[in-house]
């Protein structure tokens, strides 16, 4: 998997349009709330920012935080928005 540049939040999402196991890299960097579409399943992420990332549900309710400088996995099924200013 590709490296995540400094100052960005990166995640790899399975490409459902392909028959094989293919992943697309998504990079977020502006301090704002992003709406997510078709982010499903459990995949890797890397928060390579100086701020934690807040994961939000369908009504913008808080689900959990992703800590600064952490590489790990998360389940995206209930996540509808991410707040990079968390």
* DSSP string for 28-78: E-SSSEEE-SS--SEEEEEEESSS-EEEE-TTS-EEEEE-TT-EEEEE-TT
- Enter the pTM of the model: 0.86
Assigned token pair, 74: 């998360």
Percent of the chain with pLDDT over 90: 66
Are the beta carbons of 82 and 54 closer than 8 angstroms? yes
pLDDT surpassing 90 at residue 11:
yes
For the chain, the average pLDDT equals 89
Nearest to 76 by CA among 22, 14, 21: 14
Chain Cα centroid distance, residue 27: 8
- Is 1's pLDDT higher than 60? no
């Amino acid at each position: 998997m590709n490296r995540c540049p400094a100052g960005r939040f990166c995640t790899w999402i399975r490409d459902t349009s392909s028959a094989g196991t293919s992943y697309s890299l998504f990079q977020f960097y502006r301090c704002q709330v992003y709406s997510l579409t078709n982010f499903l399943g459990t995949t890797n992420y890397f928060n390579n920012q100086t701020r934690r990332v807040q994961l939000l549900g369908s009504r913008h309710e808080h689900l959990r935080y992703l800590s600064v400088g952490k590489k790990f996995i998360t389940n995206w099924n209930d996540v509808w928005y991410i707040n990079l200013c968390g």
